[in-house]
Structure 1
Amino acid sequence: MKALKFIGIGIVGIIALLLIIAMIVPKDYTISVSTTVNKPQAVVFDYVKMIKNQEHYSVWVMKDPNVKIEYTGIDGTVGAKSSWVSLDDNVGVGSQQITKMTDSRIDVDIHFEKPMKGDDSGATIVEAISDNKTKLTSEFYGHADYPMNLMSLVFTGFIKKDIAQNLANAKKNLESQP
C-alpha cells in the first residue's frame, strides 16, 4: 500500500511540475530555417510563390501520394489557396492561403482541421545575396494555449526538421533547372 501511495504522489508531482513548466513556456513561437540557393533571387521567388510547386518539394504534400489537393484563385498571387484532404494523419485536412506578397516575401495563413484544429501562419522570404545566390528562408509562426504550449517544445523540433527538408528539396529542384 505504501508503494502505491508513493507512486500516486510521484505521478501528481510530475503532473504539477509539468504544469508549472508550461506556465513559463511561451505560447507563441517562431521556427525559422534558411538555406542558400545558387540561383538569382527572381528565379527563386518565382518558384516558391507558386503554391502548386509545393507538390515537388513539400514533405507534407509528398507524404501521401493519394492526398487530394484543390487550388483556388490565381496561383502565385494574394488570395491563391490550396486545400488538402488526406487520410494520413501526418498530412490531415487543411488549407493555406497567400495573404500578402512583396517582391521578396510571401505570407500565408494556414488552417488545420485534422488531426487537430488550429490556425497558424508562415512566410517565405527570398533575399538576394549576389547576382546568382539567394538566401531562402521559411518561417512558421505557431501558437499553443496553456497547458498545450508545453507540447510545442516537442513539435517545434519536428516542424523545423520538415522545413529544413522542404528547403533542401526546393534548393535541389531550383539548382537542377538550366
Structure 2
Amino acid sequence: MNVLKKIGLSLLGLVILLAAGSLFISSKLKVERSIEVAAPANAAFEQVNTLRNWEQWSPWHKIDPQMLLTYSGPDGGAGASYNWFSQHPDVGDGEFKIVKTEPYKLIDAQMKFGEEVATTSYTFDETAKGTRITWAMESDLGMNPVNKYFGLLFLDKYVGADFERGLNNMKQIVESMQPVVQQGDAHAGHGH
C-alpha cells in the first residue's frame, strides 16, 4: 500500500508541475514559413487571393483531392470564402475567409477548423529575384495545459510542414507561368 501511495503522490506532483509549467507557455502560437519565387508579386498574390486557385497548390487539397468544396462571396478579395468537407483525418472540415487585402502586398484571412479559429496572413515582398511569399498563422490555444503543450511540441512542426508543401507547390505554379527568357545568340547583330 505504501508503494501505491508513493506512486499516486508522484503522479499527482507531476500533473501539478506540468500544469504550473504551462502557465509560462504563451497561449498564442505563431507558425510562419517563407519562400522566394522567380515571379512578380501579382502572380503570387493571385494564387492566394483567387480561392479557386487553391485547388492547384494547397497542401490539404493534395492530401484529399476528393474533398467537397463550396465557395461563397466574390471569387477573390475581402469577403471571398470557401468551406471544405473531408473524411480524411488530416484534413477534416473547415472554413477559410479573406477579411482584408492590399493588392500584391498582403492578404489577411480567418480559418476555422471545427471550434478552433486561427488568423492567417500572406505577405508578398518584392526581391531582386522575384517575390518572397510569407505564410503565417496565429492561433490562441487558451489556458488548457494540454493544448499549450500540444501546440508547443507539435503544431509548428506539422502545420509548418504543410505550409512548406503549399509554398513549394505555389512556387512551381507561378514560376511555370512566367515567360521563358531566351539568351540571344552571342554573335547576333555582329555580322557573323
Q: Does the 8 A contact of 1:78 with 1:100 survive in 2?
A: yes
Q: TM-score, normalised by structure 1?
A: 0.91
146-155 or 32-41, which moves further after superposition? Answer: 146-155
Task: Give the CA RMSD over aligned residues.
Answer: 1.5
Aligned-pair CA distance for 1:96 = 0.7
Aligned-pair CA distance for 1:169 = 1.3
Identity of aligned residues (%): 25
Structure 2 counterpart of 1:120: 118
Q: Secondary structure at the match of 1:48?
A: helix
Aligned-pair CA distance for 1:105 = 0.4
One-letter amino acid of the structure 2 residue matched with residue 124 of structure 1: Y
Q: Does the 8 A contact of 1:99 with 1:108 survive in 2?
A: yes
One-letter amino acid of the structure 2 residue matched with residue 127 of structure 1: D
Pair 1:144-2:144 in alignment:
no
Task: Measure, in 1, the Cα distance between the counterparts of 2:46 and 2:141.
Answer: 33
Structure 1 counterpart of 2:181: none
Q: Secondary structure at the match of 1:140?
A: strand
One-letter amino acid of the structure 2 residue matched with residue 108 of structure 1: A
Kindly report which structure 2 residues correspond to 1:54-133, keeping only aligned pairs within 5 A, or say none: 54-103=54-103, 104-113=105-114, 117-130=115-128, 132-133=129-130
Task: Report which of the two structures shows the higher radius of gyration computed on alpha carbons.
Answer: 2
Task: Measure, in 2, the Cα distance between the counterparts of 1:7 and 1:37.
Answer: 56
Aligned-pair CA distance for 1:92 = 1.1
Task: Measure, in 2, the Cα distance between the counterparts of 1:133 and 1:22.
Answer: 42
Pair 1:166-2:160 in alignment:
no
Structure 1 counterpart of 2:187: none
96-105 or 4-13, which moves further after superposition? Answer: 4-13
Q: Secondary structure at the match of 1:106?
A: strand
More strand by percentage: 1
Q: Does the 8 A contact of 1:38 with 1:175 survive in 2?
A: yes
Aligned-pair CA distance for 1:50 = 1.5
Q: Does the 8 A contact of 1:143 with 1:149 survive in 2?
A: no
One-letter amino acid of the structure 1 residue matched with residue 95 of structure 2: S
One-letter amino acid of the structure 2 residue matched with residue 120 of structure 1: A
Q: TM-score, normalised by structure 2?
A: 0.84
Task: Measure, in 1, the Cα distance between the counterparts of 2:7 and 2:172.
Answer: 53
Aligned-pair CA distance for 1:82 = 0.7
Aligned-pair CA distance for 1:156 = 2.2
Q: Does the 8 A contact of 2:121 with 2:135 survive in 1?
A: yes
Task: Measure, in 2, the Cα distance between the counterparts of 1:92 and 1:32.
Answer: 22
Q: How many equivalent pairs are there?
A: 174
Gaps of at least 5 residues in structure 1 are: none
Kindly report which structure 2 residues correspond to 1:29-44, keeping only aligned pairs within 5 A, or say none: 29-44=29-44
Task: Measure, in 2, the Cα distance between the counterparts of 1:57 and 1:13.
Answer: 47
Aligned-pair CA distance for 1:6 = 2.8
